Amino acid sequence: MIRYEGLFFEEQEELLRSLEIEHLIKPIENIHITFKYKPIEEEIFDNLVGREFNILILGRGSDGENSGLIVKLPDELIPFYINETVPHITTSLNINAKTVNTKNILDFNKLEMFSTPIPIKGKFGYFIDQKVSYEKQKNKKN
């Protein structure tokens, strides 16, 4: 079962951590942008799996519980972003914080926006059985 699908930044985690405004206790493993948590069959986008996409990192924020980056997706990906929050990357958490709450720091009045957006490349995939997968999943027997 797919836990979530999105863009993963396996080759860029060090860069992403360096952009944090505040490094919290628990760094996120498998840094990503969640497109959908627990997608149903119609929300599984195998046509995107394994493809690389360029995004822009626009700014950063932290509330002491969650640290993250706000991003701009390419136009091609916007129809597939069915998450209910602004596109973002959670980079670290405090002890009892939850990744789902990173959306709470994405108030543009509280963010530190970069003067020049930072381009970065991610690969679309799935998080399944505690690891990232770039294999198609539709109609696959688990």
Kindly report the pTM of this predicted structure.
0.90
Give the confidence band of 17 by pLDDT, cuts at 50, 70, 90.
Answer: very high
Question: Looking at the predicted structure, is the pLDDT value of residue 88 above 70?
Answer: yes
User: What is the arithmetic mean of pLDDT over 77-94?
Assistant: 92
Sequence-ordered list of residues with C-beta below 8 angstroms from that of 39, at least 6 positions apart, any chain? 2, 4, 5
- Cα–Cα distance between 11 and 128 in angstroms, integer? 19
Quote the strand ranges of 49-111, DSSP E: 52-62, 66-72, 88-93
Of all residues in the chain, the percent with pLDDT exceeding 90 is 71
Q: CA-to-CA distance for 93 and 68, rounded, in angstroms?
A: 9
Mean per-residue pLDDT for 17-22?
92
pLDDT of res. 84: 80
Domains of the chain by start residue, with CATH: 2-129 (3.90.1740.10)
